[in-house]
């Protein structure tokens, strides 16, 4: 009899990942629980389970990122499901699925773009945040370490725009064409449409269109004008501000800032980054 291999992340949702285990809509006698962070040899794990076992990831976007980066090159036959236990759950929002049921996600995990940061490659599910979005993740991590249970990323962004975050000069190259942008506040490259707890920087990006990614840059304006436009990103309406927002699509993207800032990959923070490069799934293989 096949089993449900439950891969949970205890660190998900501000270290409350195990709280959702009792709500998984699968009979307990069919469940096998495993801490996904404790799997040292992913290939050995898949070799040890039955081909018809269903694998259920219990976590959010960061847990998905951890899973794909550890299993991407493994040829496994199992169906993969997601049961949401994250903070933002942007992946589910993007594909239009609710957070209270098992969602089969196998088709979304095998053709993913690659980002290179500081000489290291990472696959990503949703997007790369660079600019004030990376800053928000950096501050959020600091607050979490200080014991905060609920992180208000929108509030962090607004305070950052007004007081703390300084825009950069950016050089962005898409498929060999380079453009420069002054006063760059944000320059993410996306595989999906949304990230950051419901922001839609690239509302027309299709995560199943494996031959291109989308880079959005918000630039050129001061604090007040940027603060007026920035909240529109939660509905994807910021794209109407064509004098300060540009979206460029392509197979290969490189973003360079004139000073190091924080970057986030599916919500996981990397500090002191001056540039990143992305290859679409079609190029990355």
What's the pLDDT tens digit per position in 166-222? 999 999 999 999 999 999 999 999 999 999 888 999 999 999 987 899 999 999 999
Which of the listed residues 63, 85, 108 is the one where a domain comes to its end? Answer: 108
Identify the residue with better confidence: 87 or 49: 49
What total of structural domains would you count in the chain?
2
One domain, residues 50 and 180: no
Task: Give CA torsion, residues 237, 242, 248, 253, to 10 deg.
Answer: -100
Task: Name the domain boundary from 55, 89, 108.
Answer: 108
Q: Is 146 found in the same domain as 65? A: no
Q: Helix H segments across the chain?
A: 12-15, 42-48, 61-71, 90-95, 132-145, 153-159, 223-229, 281-284
Residue 281 pLDDT greater than 90, yes or no: yes
Domain co-membership, 275 together with 144? yes
Q: Are residues 12 and 148 in the same domain?
A: no
Is a pLDDT exceeding 90 seen at residue 243? yes
Buried b (16+ CB within 10 A) or exposed e, 11-40: bbbeeebbebbeebeeeeeeeeeeebbebe
155 and 265 share one domain: yes
Same domain, 129 and 258: yes
Distance CA 74, CA 86 (A): 25
- Domain identity same for 270 and 133: yes
Q: Are 94 and 194 in contact (CB under 8 A)?
A: yes
Contact yes or no for 60/88 (Cβ under 8 A): yes
How far apart CA 254 and CA 275 sit, in angstroms, is 7
For residue 43, the enclosing domain spans 4-108
pLDDT at site 169 = 98
Residue that finishes a domain, picked among 52, 80, 108: 108
Whether residues 150 and 245 share a domain: the answer is yes
Q: Same structural domain for residues 152 and 181?
A: yes
- 151 falls in which pLDDT band (50, 70, 90)? confident
Query: Comparing C-alpha atoms, which of 96, 17, 29, 105 is closest to residue 63?
Result: 17
On whether both 133 and 84 belong to a single domain, the answer is: no
Contacts of 224 (CB under 8 A, 6+ apart): none
Domain with residue 82: its CATH number is 3.40.50.10330
Query: What CATH number does residue 188 fall under?
Result: 2.60.200.40
> Sorting pLDDT into bands at 50, 70 and 90, what band is 162?
confident
Identify whether residues 242 and 136 lie together within a single domain: yes
What is the band of 49 on the pLDDT scale with cuts at 50, 70, 90? very high
DSSP H helix total and E strand total for the chain: 8, 15
Domain co-membership, 43 together with 82: yes
């Amino acid at each position: 009899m096949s089993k449900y291999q439950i891969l949970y992340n205890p660190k998900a949702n501000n270290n409350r990942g195990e709280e959702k285990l009792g709500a998984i809509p699968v009979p307990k006698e069919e469940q096998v629980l495993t801490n996904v962070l404790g799997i040292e040899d992913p290939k050995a794990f898949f070799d040890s389970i039955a081909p018809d076992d269903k694998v259920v990831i219990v976590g959010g976007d960061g847990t998905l990122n951890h899973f794909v980066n550890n299993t991407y090159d493994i040829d496994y036959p199992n169906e993969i499901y997601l049961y949401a236990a994250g903070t933002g759950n942007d992946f589910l929002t993007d594909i239009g699925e609710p957070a209270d049921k098992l969602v089969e996600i196998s088709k979304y995990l095998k053709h993913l773009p690659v980002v290179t940061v500081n000489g290291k490659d990472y696959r990503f599910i949703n997007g790369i945040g660079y600019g004030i979005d990376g800053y928000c993740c950096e501050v959020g991590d600091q607050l979490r370490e200080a014991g905060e249970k609920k992180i208000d990323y929108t509030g962090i962004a607004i305070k950052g725009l007004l007081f703390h975050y300084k825009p950069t000069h950016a050089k962005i190259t898409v498929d060999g064409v380079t453009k420069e942008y002054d006063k760059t506040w944000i320059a993410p490259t996306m595989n999906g449409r949304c990230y950051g707890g419901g922001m839609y920087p690239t509302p027309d990006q299709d995560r199943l269109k494996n031959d291109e990614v989308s880079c959005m840059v918000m630039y050129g304006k001061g604090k007040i004008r940027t603060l007026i436009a920035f909240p529109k990103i939660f509905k994807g309406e910021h794209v109407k501000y064509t004098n300060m927002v540009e979206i460029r699509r392509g197979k290969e993207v490189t973003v360079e800032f004139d000073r190091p800032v924080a970057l986030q990959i599916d919500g996981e923070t990397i500090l002191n980054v001056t540039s990143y490069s992305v290859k679409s799934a079609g190029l990355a293989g």
